[in-house]
Chains A and B, each alone.
Chain A
Amino acid sequence: MEAIRTDKLTKSYGKARGIIDLELTVEEGEFFGFIGPNGAGKSTTIRTLLGLLSPTSGAASVFGMDIVREKEGILRRVGYLPSEAFFYPKMRVRDLLKFSADLRKTDCSAEAARLCERLQLDTERKIDELSFGNRKKAAIVCALQSKPDLLILDEPTGGLDPLMQREFFDILQERNREGSTIFFSSHVLSEVQRNCTRAAVIRQGKIIACDSVSGLAKAHAKRVTIHGSVDLSRLPDIKDKQTGSGSVSFLYNGSMPDLLRCLSSGQITDLTVAEPDLEEVFLHFYEEEDAK
């Protein structure tokens, strides 16, 4: 079954661009990455799925439930971690966690205690005494304590130190192995590359690629590094050309025979053809889009 499905989902409001004809499918049990720069529409997508925003047109469903008509049913099965977590400042963390559990009509105290211990979160502290990172931890516990079937995480690692980030992803991997679907937006590509099985890239409100993470990294480009001299002017599909002392490196997205012909015409002393990392692919996609 699909955990998330959007069908030409569009949301436009105010000055914000919103999202346009978004087509996205996340299968149950996936660890799905949602990549895009700030303002690309990641949060708008998430907020529309959660019912905080009403779609302008199109449709979407979560576990087969319509996002407009069956909000409550969806929210019962979803844990949400916002990019910036804000809570009632005078509340203690333990009261906040209890309030969240009460709103879900469940007793999550055992799981909350386990999570707080792993994340080293002091539940006696008041919210307004918490640092940004600790507030984030409180938000993580709120999102995870009810063991939801789908976790929607909006840029979740901001504010967490590297050790906590690792602990957090360990918890997410455990949850994923237990069957939870994880939908995770980020502009930190290494996080997506390390953790996700599939990912979609969103830019200016539109999905411009959606594939397995390895597919996204492989499909579109190679990082070619040449030592020696060669005339690259006849190669049309070069991106991100960097010239060093006696070497040149570029992303290549064109035909392999053309590349080989071009290289064989020059004086090459060394050659490396590597898979670019997702960071480079990501930039490459956007450059491509900008050029259009």
Chain B
Amino acid sequence: MTILKHEFRQGRTAFWIWTGVISVMLSVCVFLYTEVRGEMDAVTNLFSSFGSFTAAFGMDRLNFGTLEGFYAIECGSMLGIGGAFYAAITAVNMLSKEESNKTADFLLTHPVSRRRILSEKLLAIFVQLTLMNLIILGMSLLSIIVIGEPVPWKSLLLLHFAYYLLQLEISGICYGISAFVRRGSVGIGLGIAVLLYFVNLISNLSESASVLKFFTPFAYCDGADIITTGSLDGPKIAIGAGACLAGILAAWFHYDKKDIT
């Protein structure tokens, strides 16, 4: 597990920055809820009048006046975008950074098989994402308890779990890309995260675009769906798991034979 430990050390600054920023933003949102709770009915009415744009953010079916609804929209967006960016950057860099920083010669001339390197680096991504999500969830729960609101356990856990799956999916896809590119990988990773986010917004705009929901993990993180149905969307998650696995397998087979020039 030498490489796993090495990756933790290499990635610890980024890990704590992203975890810290997302946790603090979520906590700030939760604290803001107490301030704006009284005015939320008016806000809900206002937002519900924006037609399809309201639907794009799922605000037609969620009540801003409840903590659940407020959390799903406000905190969901931050956790979604922040988590997706972190997962994308970490994964898309994981293999390519060795070539862009020219450290691949050092690492790959030690008696460690490439598949071992691939496994430990993948594990490093998944462990970091898991830890980050646990810390964020803990901070959120703590904030809700501090403001004295009852914790909407089921909705909250489902929502966080969905975003965790989203991060795993994006990281799997980006890991696959990481095996193929040598430099400029961060741009690709962020581009993918942003693209998937906008695909979801577009898919919410009209019924005719709803097929796009199957192409973005943000679709199964839709707070309105999760809270109203009380469950996650299995088929969409299965598609996401497939995409994640495809990325990992692409890395697995390509990187093993890749020429390091």
Bound-complex Cα distance A84 to B105 (A) = 10
Range of interface residues on B (Cβ < 8 Å): 20 to 34
* Residue contact B259 to A13, C-beta cutoff 8 Å: yes
* Residue contact B102 to A84, C-beta cutoff 8 Å: yes
* Residue contact A88 to B10, C-beta cutoff 8 Å: yes
Bound-complex Cα distance A102 to B257 (A) = 24
* Residue contact B113 to A72, C-beta cutoff 8 Å: yes
**Scoring B residues 109 to 121 as 1 if CB is less than 8 Å from chain A, else 0, what string do you get?**
1111100000000
Residues of B within 8 A of A88 (CB): 10, 101, 103
Query: Residue B106 at the A interface, CB < 8 A?
Result: yes
Bound-complex Cα distance A78 to B101 (A) = 23
* Residue contact B109 to A52, C-beta cutoff 8 Å: yes
* Residue contact A99 to B2, C-beta cutoff 8 Å: yes
Query: Residue B261 at the A interface, CB < 8 A?
Result: yes
Bound-complex Cα distance A121 to B246 (A) = 46
Residues of A within 8 A of B3 (CB): 103
* Residue contact A104 to B261, C-beta cutoff 8 Å: no
Residue in B2, B10, B108, B112 whose CB lies within 8 Å of A52: B108
Bound-complex Cα distance A51 to B261 (A) = 11
Interface residues of B in 82-129 (CB under 8 A from A): 101-113
Query: Residue A267 at the B interface, CB < 8 A?
Result: no
Query: Residue B6 at the A interface, CB < 8 A?
Result: yes
Residues of B within 8 A of A71 (CB): 113
Residue in B106, B108, B110, B260 whose CB lies within 8 Å of A87: B106
Query: Residue A109 at the B interface, CB < 8 A?
Result: no
Residues of B within 8 A of A72 (CB): 111-113
* Residue contact A103 to B111, C-beta cutoff 8 Å: yes
Bound-complex Cα distance A53 to B261 (A) = 7
Query: Residue A142 at the B interface, CB < 8 A?
Result: yes
Residues of A within 8 A of B107 (CB): 103
Bound-complex Cα distance A90 to B257 (A) = 29
| Shortest CB distance A250–B (Å) | 41
* Residue contact B111 to A85, C-beta cutoff 8 Å: no
* Residue contact A85 to B261, C-beta cutoff 8 Å: no
* Residue contact A54 to B106, C-beta cutoff 8 Å: no
Residue in B6, B101, B105, B257 whose CB lies within 8 Å of A54: B257
* Residue contact A54 to B111, C-beta cutoff 8 Å: no
Residues of B within 8 A of A47 (CB): 260-261
**Scoring A residues 32 to 55 as 1 if CB is less than 8 Å from chain B, else 0, what string do you get?**
000000000000000100111110
Residues of A within 8 A of B111 (CB): 72-73, 75-76, 103-104
**Scoring B residues 245 to 261 as 1 if CB is less than 8 Å from chain A, else 0, what string do you get?**
00000000000010111
Bound-complex Cα distance A51 to B106 (A) = 12
Bound-complex Cα distance A142 to B106 (A) = 9
**Quick one: given A47-B260, A52-B259, are A103 and B110 in contact (CB under 8 Å)?**
yes
Query: Residue A82 at the B interface, CB < 8 A?
Result: yes
* Residue contact A86 to B103, C-beta cutoff 8 Å: yes
A52-B260, A103-B111 given; 15 more Cβ-contact pairs under 8 Å: A16-B261, A51-B109, A52-B105, A52-B109, A53-B259, A53-B260, A73-B111, A82-B109, A86-B102, A87-B106, A88-B101, A99-B2, A103-B2, A103-B3, A104-B111
Some 9 contacts from A to B, beta carbons below 8 A apart, are A50-B109, A53-B261, A72-B112, A72-B113, A87-B106, A99-B2, A102-B2, A103-B111, A104-B110
Question: Would you list the 7 A-B pairs with minimal beta carbon distance, nearest first?
Answer: A86-B102, A103-B110, A75-B111, A76-B111, A52-B260, A102-B2, A80-B109
**Chain B: residues with CB nearer than 8 A to chain A?**
2-3, 6, 10, 101-113, 257, 259-261
